[in-house]
Chain A
Amino acid sequence: MNIAKLPLKNIISYKKRTIGLILILVILTMSLFGGSIFIKSLNNGLDSLNERLGADIIVLPKDAESEVDLQNLLLQGTPGYFYMDKSILNDLESIEGVDRISAQYFLVSANADCCSVKVQIIGFDEETDFTIKPWLNESYQGVLKDDEIIVGSMLSTKVGHTLKLYGKEFLVVGKLEKTGTGLDTAVYTTGDTVKTLIEAAEDKGISILSKQSPDDVISSVYIDVKDGYDIDTIVSDINLNNSEVKAVRARTMMTSTSDRLGIISSAISFFVKIIWAFAAIILIAAFYIITGERKKEFAALRVIGVSRKKLGVLVMSEAIIIGIIGSVFGIIITGAFMYSFSVLIGTRLDLPYLLPGVVTTTYYILVTFISVVLLGTISGLISAYRAVSVDTARILRE
C-alpha cells in the first residue's frame, strides 16, 4: 500500500467522521467569509450613498415627512414626492458661500409598463446638476434631449434601448453606477421630459401622484458649499431666513443610518468571533478525541515501520485536506448565497448594501481560506503530537 495515499483513503473510508469535521469547518468558513462580505457591503453602501449625495446641504420642504420620505427613497427605494415653491431657489443662490446649487423634482409613476411597482422619476436641471451625471456608468457627454432618460443601475434596460412609461417610449442614454441604495431604481430626466410624462399619463387616464408642474415647484435643492465657509452656519442661515424649507447637512441626515450600520456591524463581528471561538475549540477537541480513538491504528502503522515523523505528517495531511475541503465548500456556499441573493438582502435590510468588487472579494476568499486551513493545521498539529507520542508497545499490549 502506498503510504502517501493513506490520508486520502482515511478521509474517504471514515465518511461520518470526515463529514462531521468538514461541517464544522464549513460553518467556520461561512461565518468568517459571509460576515466579512456582509460588513464590507454595508460599509460600501454607506460610503457610496455619501458620495452619491455629492452635496454638503440638502434643502427640503419643511413638512415633517419630507426628510423621512427622502431617507426612504435613498435607503429603500420607496418612491416619494414632496414639493416647495421654485422661487426658493433664487433665495438660496444668493446666500454667500454657496458654490454650486441644483434643484430636483420628484415624481412617482403609476405602474410602469416594465414593472408592477411604482418607479421614482427624478427631474433634474442639466445645466446646474452636479450630483447625477458624474455617476454615469458609461461616458455620456451630451445634453439630455426631449424624451431621453438616464436610468439607475437596477433597471435592467440598456443604453440605447427604450423604456415605456405611460405608453410613451423614452430613450435610455445613460446608466448610473450601482450605489446599493434606492437611487438605483430611479429614472432621471429633465424637467421638460417630466412634463411630457405627466401629459402622457393624463392622456392615458392614469392618475399620477402630482398635478404640479416642474415649472412651478421643486422637491429638493442640493448645495455645494465653497471651501472656507462653515457648512453649519449656512444651514442655520437657510433655516432662520426661510420658514417654508428645512436645510440639513447631508452627513447629518445619514447619521442614524450610519449608527444603525455600526450596531449591525459590531453585532456581526461579535457573533463571528463567538462562532470562531466555539468552532475552534470543538474542532481541536474533535481532532484530539479522534486521535485518541485511533491509537491502535497509529501503533499498527509504527509496527509496520512508519517512522514517528511520517506518522505526524500523515495525521497533519488529513487535517489539512479536511481544512481545504471545508473552506472551499464554505466559500462556494457562502459566495453563491451572498452574491445571488444580494438584492434581496439589501432590500430586507433597508440599508445601503453594495457588494465588494472582484479584488476585495478575492482578498476575503484568500484570508478565509488561509485562516480556516491554518486552524485545521493547528488542530492537526496537536493531533499529530498526540499520535507520535503513542507508546506502541503499551497500546498493542492493551
Chain B
Amino acid sequence: MNYLKKNFVKFIELVLSLILAIGSFTVFAACPLSEEHVMACHYAQLVVTTLGVILVVQSLAAVIISNEKVKLGITLAQIPTAVAVFLVPGTIFSLCMMSSMRCISIFQPAVRVISAIVFVVSVADVVISFIKKNKQGVSK
C-alpha cells in the first residue's frame, strides 16, 4: 500500500500510457484500412502505438526501479516522448482530408488529450521530485 502511495503519480503515468498504446489501435483507432489503398492516417496510428509502447516501458521502469535519480531521469525522458505523441497526428504525419473522418474526429483529439495529460503529469512529477529533493537537502 505504501509502495502504491509512494509511486502514485508513476502509476497514473503507466495507466495513461497503457490507454494511449492500446487505445490507439482499438477504441480510438484511426480510419479503418480500405482494400483499395492505405491512408496516411494509418502510419500516424502505427507511430502513436509505437510511442505509446515506449511510454509504457518508461512508466513501468519508473515504477519498478527504486533509485530516485534514475526515476527522475526516466520521467524527464517521458516529457519529449509525450510531446512527440502529441505532434504525430496532424503535424508530423498528415491525416485524411475530411474532418468528419475517424482519424480527425476521434483519433487525433483522443491522442492529443491523453498525451497532453501525460505531459502535464510528467512535468508535475519532475517538479514535485525537485521540490522533495530540495526539502531533503535543506533538512540535511
Contact = CB atoms under 8 A, between A and B. Distances in A.
Interface of A: 77, 111-117, 119, 153-157, 163, 184-185, 336-337, 340-341, 343-344, 347
Contacts of A117: 98, 100-101
A156 B113 contact: no
Interface in B36-79: 36-37, 39
B105 A119 contact: no
A347 B39 contact: no
Given A111-B36, A116-B32, A156 B104 contact: yes
Nearest to B41: A116
Given A114-B98, A116-B96, A155-B97, A344 B31 contact: no
B39 to A, nearest CB: 6
Given A340-B109, A341-B109, A116 B116 contact: no
B106 interface: yes
Contacts of B36: 111
Contacts of B85: none
Contact of B106 (A115, A336, A344): A344
Interface string B90-106: 00000111111100111
B113 A337 contact: yes
Given A116-B39, A336-B116, A154 B106 contact: no
Most buried by A among B31, B32, B34, B97: B97
A48 to B, nearest CB: 16
A200 B96 CA distance: 22
B109 A116 contact: no
A341 B99 contact: no
Interface in B1-40: 31-32, 34, 36-37, 39
A347 B98 contact: no
A156 B105 CA distance: 12
7 contacts: A111-B34, A114-B96, A115-B98, A116-B32, A154-B98, A154-B100, A344-B106
Nearest to A344: B105
A185 B96 contact: no
B4 to A, nearest CB: 15
Q: Which 5 A-B pairs have the closest CB atoms?
A: A340-B109, A114-B97, A154-B99, A343-B105, A344-B105
A343 B99 contact: yes
Interface residues on B, range: 20 to 34
A108 to B, nearest CB: 14
A77 B98 CA distance: 11
Contacts of B112: 340
Given A116-B34, A116-B96, A156-B104, 5 more contacts: A185-B98, A185-B100, A340-B109, A341-B106, A344-B106
A114 B34 CA distance: 12
B99 A184 contact: yes
A163 B113 contact: no
A156 B96 CA distance: 8
Contacts of B32: 116
Given A111-B34, A116-B39, A340-B109, A347 B100 contact: yes
A217 B36 CA distance: 32
A155 B97 CA distance: 5
Nearest to A341: B109
A336 B104 CA distance: 15
Given A156-B95, A344-B106, A115 B101 contact: yes
A336 B113 CA distance: 7
A156 B116 contact: no
Contacts of B105: 341, 343-344, 347
B104 A343 contact: yes
A111 B39 CA distance: 12
A336 B98 CA distance: 21
Contacts of A113: 37
A185 B99 CA distance: 8
Contacts of A185: 98-100
A77 B32 CA distance: 19
A153 B99 CA distance: 9
A116 B101 contact: yes
Contacts of A77: 100
A350 to B, nearest CB: 12
Contacts of A154: 98-100
A115 B34 CA distance: 10
B109 to A, nearest CB: 3
Nearest to B32: A116
A92 B6 CA distance: 78
A104 to B, nearest CB: 20
Contacts of B39: 115-116
A117 B110 CA distance: 21
A82 B115 CA distance: 45
B20 to A, nearest CB: 15
Nearest to B94: A156
B30 to A, nearest CB: 11
Contacts of A157: 97
